[in-house]
Amino acid sequence: MPVHNEDIAAIFEEMADLLEIEGANPFRVRAYRNAARSVRSLGRELAEMVASGEDLTQLPGIGKDLAAKIIEMVRTGKVRALEKLHRKVPASLEDLLHIPGLGPRRVRRLFDELGIETLEQLAEAARAGRLRTLPGFGARTEQRILDALAAHRSQERRFLYSVARQYAEPLAAWLRKIPGVERVVVAGSYRRGRETVGDLDILVTVRADSPVMARFVTYDEVAEVISSGATRASVILRSGLQVDLRVVTAHSLGAALHYFTGSKAHNIQIRRLGQQRGLKINEYGVFRGERAIAGESEDSVFAAVGLPYIPPELRENRGEIAAAREGRLPRLIERKDLRGDLHCHSRASDGHADIETMARAAREAGLEYLAITDHSRHLSVARGLDERRLLQQIEEIDRLNERLHGITLLKGIEVDILEDGRLDLPDSVLAQLDLVVGAVHDHFGLSEKKQTARLLRAMAHKYFTLLAHPSGRLLLKREAYAVDMPRVVEAARERGCFLELNAQPLRLDLKDNHCRLARERGVPLSINSDSHGPDGFANLAYGINQARRGWLEKGDVLNTLPLGKLRKRLRGTMG
């Protein structure tokens, strides 16, 4: 049974949670959490590395013990150490960890002092007012837990796009190998490049004798078959991801692709345009009366209502239909347009490789330049650089540039924006850099007024170049902090500095609508990997997805510039 990187990372996270509930050594807990992060950042499947006999201990954060567990997971689908933990800590306690405000220590206290093991018991105790009797809880905490429980019950389970991809692409490749299968396309929100995915819609065209439907429900990763018929089947994978497979005819593939790709609002508008022309548009084709006049291709569906082809990422009913009608559709950016990366980390702070290794990996990823932007001293958990260490790194980069070929390193820093908007390092050292990337890493709970003022003061600094992950969100984990983003965009335009589109799959920050706002206000964005290791440059593809959803063209993105023009733009922000 296939084991994906996300499966392994999830097990390491689960072990960290259970160990913390148990009260284990914090260093041991941290080792599992670091391993989970490392596994999620890899550009290769660990199962492939195990099969080829590669040394897993060469991976960042993976020692002999963790490597052995990975091999055990890949070969057996389980890990004995986790089963042992489950015998010591009730498995239901893990569900409590999904409630905001309940960390492992609080979960342990609830279990030890109130005997709470399940979400139902937690809700009952909160409604009865028993939580407030525990030290560190109180009435307000109790109410927040009740609110979080209500939200948790109503929340649809979603998966990061990058996680859904680990399941979608291997499944699509497996389906293509089934006899009689001609085309396989993953549609839905996945094809639109949404940040998170609720389920997968897969369309296939086949010859009449293909056993695709019977084979699909036997796929190794299927945990439950919801329904199975001649042309449609629905299953739940072991990961919890639902997959719907539909067989469509070749002459209606375009219509089906359009129907199962666009948002509901987009599809309604296209159908209305068809109705105005006396047409009926559905998943089977475009019809005038009983006669099909289009539907073999998506282009034919759009042409039937007088529109050019609209890329999947734009099909959200956010003005794309009017833009198509008026010839204003953007020529969306592609991965090949990126010439560099302006945000990455080395071993000097919390990265997993030295600067030269990162440079060579960037070159292999097709980049011409790379900014080294390790953390500044304020972020002590990431071993941030103080003035002395940053000056040493500047000298190291100068030496490397003398002998590296095919890649140029730029000198930068991801400097913390302090609570009052000051930058974490003195001007004397910031002045020696090619760019200064400012970022918020704490005090997320400030009011919108204070958080906005904090960012505006930082952006007004004479050496400020680029605002990193501007909203501070972590998808499915942490909401964006309160900030007036239109005011931030306007400040960037006035100051002549830039905003980042952070391509980390957990961030994808800026949001797509804010990317579009920046484009409309003439504020260039930089699509950056925020890579912490050589494999991290693969993140740029996720950033491109987000950029396309934000209507960005090549000319809207700073790091599509050749190095000479980029240097000129950067100098314009430095003093």
Span 190-226, pLDDT tens digits: 999 999 999 999 999 999 889 999 999 999 999 999 9
How high is the pLDDT of residue 550?
97
The pLDDT value recorded for residue 76 is 87
Question: Does the pLDDT at position 92 exceed 90?
Answer: no
Q: What is the mean pLDDT of residues 400-422?
A: 96
What pLDDT, on a 0 to 100 scale, did the predictor assign at position 398? 97
What's residue 272's pLDDT?
94
Are 21 and 89 in contact by the 8 Å Cβ rule? The answer is yes
pLDDT over 90, % of the chain: 69
Q: Which of 114-128, 215-229, 300-314 has the lowest average pLDDT? A: 114-128
pLDDT at residue 521 in the model: 96
Least confident span in 95-99, 151-155, 375-379: 151-155
**Mean pLDDT of all residues in 294-304:** 96
Give the tokens for residue 183.
């085309």
Q: Helix 512-520 crosses helix 540-549 at what angle (to 10 degrees)?
A: 70
Supply angle C-alpha 23, 129, 122, rounded to 5: 45
3-state helix, strand, coil in the chain (%, to 5): 50, 15, 35
* Structural domains present in the chain: 5-154 (1.10.150.110), 159-247 (3.30.460.10), 252-325 (3.30.210.10), 335-571 (3.20.20.140)
527: left (phi over 0), alpha (psi -120 to 50) or beta: beta
Asked if the model's pLDDT at residue 1 lies above 80, the reply is no
pLDDT in tens, 506-516: 999 999 999 99
Q: How confident is the model at residue 155 (pLDDT cuts 50, 70, 90)?
A: low
- Write out pLDDT tens, residues 452-466: 999 999 999 999 999
**What DSSP character marks residue 130?**
-
**What is the arithmetic mean of pLDDT over 241-267?**
95
Which residue has better confidence, 33 or 391?
391
* pLDDT value of residue 442: 92
- Residue 366: what pLDDT? 97
Whether the predicted pLDDT of 2 surpasses 80: no
Query: What are the φ and ψ backbone dihedral angles of 469, each rounded to 5 degrees?
Result: 25, 75
Task: Tell me: pLDDT of 146 over 80.
Answer: yes
Give Cα separations from 396 to 114, 214, 530 (angstroms).
57, 60, 20
Rg (CA), the chain: 26
pLDDT band at 557 (very low <50, low <70, confident <90, very high): very high
The upper half-sphere exposure of residue 507, i.e. CA atoms within 13 Å in the direction of its Cβ, equals: 22
Average pLDDT score over residue span 51-60: 88
Mean pLDDT for 416-428 is: 95
Region 498-527: mean pLDDT is 96
State yes or no: pLDDT of 154 exceeds 70: no
User: Looking at the predicted structure, is the pLDDT value of residue 94 above 80?
Assistant: no
What pLDDT shows up at residue 281?
95
* Strand ranges, E, within 207-250: 222-228, 232-237, 242-247
More confident residue, 427 or 39: 427
What pLDDT score was predicted for residue 497?
96
The pLDDT of residue 498 is 98
pLDDT, residue 380, reads 75
Measured CA angle at 302 (ends 186, 337), to 5 deg: 60
- Which helix (DSSP H) or strand (DSSP E) does residue 42 occupy? none
Average the pLDDT over 84-103 and give the result: 78
* pLDDT averaged over every residue in the chain: 92
Residue 92 in tokens:
């239901």
The reported pLDDT for the residue numbered 473 is: 93
- Whether the per-residue pLDDT at 98 is higher than 80: the answer is no
Closest by Cα among 72, 75, 96 to 84: 72
Confidence class of residue 411 from pLDDT cuts 50, 70 and 90? Answer: very high
Whether the pLDDT of residue 575 is over 80: the answer is: no
